[in-house]
Amino acid sequence: MDYAGLRPYASERQLELLDAIEAYGTVSAAAKALDIAERNARRMVQTLRKNAAQQGYSPEHHMTKPVPDGFVVSGVSTYYNDEGQPVGQWVKSRLSQDDRLVKIREAIDDMMAEYKGKARPTKPPKTASEDIVVAIPIGDPHIGMYAWHEETGENFNVSIAREDLLSAMNQVIKASPSAHKCLIVNLGDFFHADNSDARTARSGHSLDVDSRWSHVLKLGCMLMVDAVHLALKKHAEVEVINAIGNHDDHSSVMLASFLDAYFHNEPRVTVQPTTSKFNYFRFHKCLIGVTHGDTVKHMALGELMAADKAEDWGETEFRYWYVGHIHHSKKFELRGSVIVESFRTLAAKDAWHSGQGYRAGRDLNAIVLHKDFGEVARYRCDIRMARYG
């Protein structure tokens, strides 16, 4: 294996591995020297070879003509003579589609580097009970959505969204009992637009957006940070779930990574990784499933929970699904004592929803769950109360 030829395609970490392979002779010896698992080292080499091949370098396939940075090889045709020797080759290249995504990723990484570990550990408040947990499902905030009152009857932008959400959270947290733990659930569509194209990924709907996307992204991330801080004042521990919506396929994942980085040094905060459309939270006899609600029918959620969390399913009695997406309140029970509830949003309607005749109420709830008895109370803050209460 020609490791030296891979050097121009290697990242810093991969270079370190290549150095070690050169020094110690084999991948397994290099892995040992670097104190990493051998299978991880092999995977790193595999990734590096794949990246090099995409750039046109894979000598065992007679690909030795790399394409420029920002391009990827889209096809290689090699002509062989009767002796099996290559005699001619076409190398076709195209602009890398990943390039844009990589740039976005880099911007996010830079942003995270600036914020990583920013939250210093703080002393937990004295809390009254570990028998209960307070869950705050946040329905479709649509941060970055812009509405104009002349068109939709009401103005809406990032700063209005921020004031509404923090005020409502403040009120429901104040009203809730002093539980040891608080669960903040972003039900998806936290961000209105997923990128600067301002179109939804699947249907291509054009979106009404406020300000520049990258600015909105930053404001949204900091809004969630402030929401977590509000909860930290009252509760000793805060766990955060961020669901993937249909407006924020990627920015929801970034938001979760951002929060995780931000609260890196604060042991009182746990951010669940956002890696799939379904997240779960177990509290003694209670099990909560979280999903945006755009991909699975509500009726199928019971079986999904049983399949995804077979063990927890067996050990719990009170099972809930918290969903967003439809922007109105709906609650029903499925077999297996599973209660599915969709939550309203605090956000105003954009021109499209207004034109479609949507007129749902707007509120935020804090739900109190007891470890042995399931949901025992809830506190509701109406949008009017958030603004004038």
Number of residues this chain uses to bind Mn ion (CB under 5 A): 2
Residue 38 CA to its chain's centroid (Å): 30
Which window, 17-25, 140-148, 271-279, 311-319, contacts Mn ion (CB under 5 A)? 140-148
The residue among 244 and 271 lying less far from Mn ion, judged by its C-beta, is 244
DSSP label at 375? E
Q: CB of residue 189 vs Mn ion: minimum separation in angstroms?
A: 4
Question: Footprint of Mn ion on residues 175-194 (CB under 5 A)?
Answer: 189
The residue among 27 and 346 lying less far from Mn ion, judged by its C-beta, is 346
Distance CA 34, CA 26 (A): 12
The residue among 18 and 138 lying less far from Mn ion, judged by its C-beta, is 138
Q: CB of residue 247 vs Mn ion: minimum separation in angstroms?
A: 6
The residue among 208 and 260 lying less far from Mn ion, judged by its C-beta, is 208
Which residues are bridge partners to 78 per DSSP? 89
Question: Footprint of Mn ion on residues 189-218 (CB under 5 A)?
Answer: 189
Q: CB of residue 21 vs Mn ion: minimum separation in angstroms?
A: 49
Closest CA to 190 of 153, 158, 229: 158
| Sole binder of Mn ion in the list 56, 140, 227, 238 (CB under 5 A) | 140
Distance CA 144, CA 223 (A): 12
Question: Footprint of Mn ion on residues 21-80 (CB under 5 A)?
Answer: none
DSSP secondary structure, 78-115, as one string = EEE-TTS-EEEEEEEEEE-THHHHHHHHHHHHHHHHHH
How many CA within 13 A on the CB side of residue 239? 17
Q: Is 294 in the site for Mn ion (CB under 5 A)?
A: no
The residue among 245 and 374 lying less far from Mn ion, judged by its C-beta, is 245
The strand order across the sheet containing 269-271 reads 269-271, 237-242, 179-186, 129-138, 363-370, 374-382
Q: CB of residue 140 vs Mn ion: minimum separation in angstroms?
A: 4
Q: How far separated are the first and last CA of the chain, in Å rounded?
A: 70
Q: CB of residue 101 vs Mn ion: minimum separation in angstroms?
A: 23
Binding site for Mn ion (CB under 5 A): 140, 189
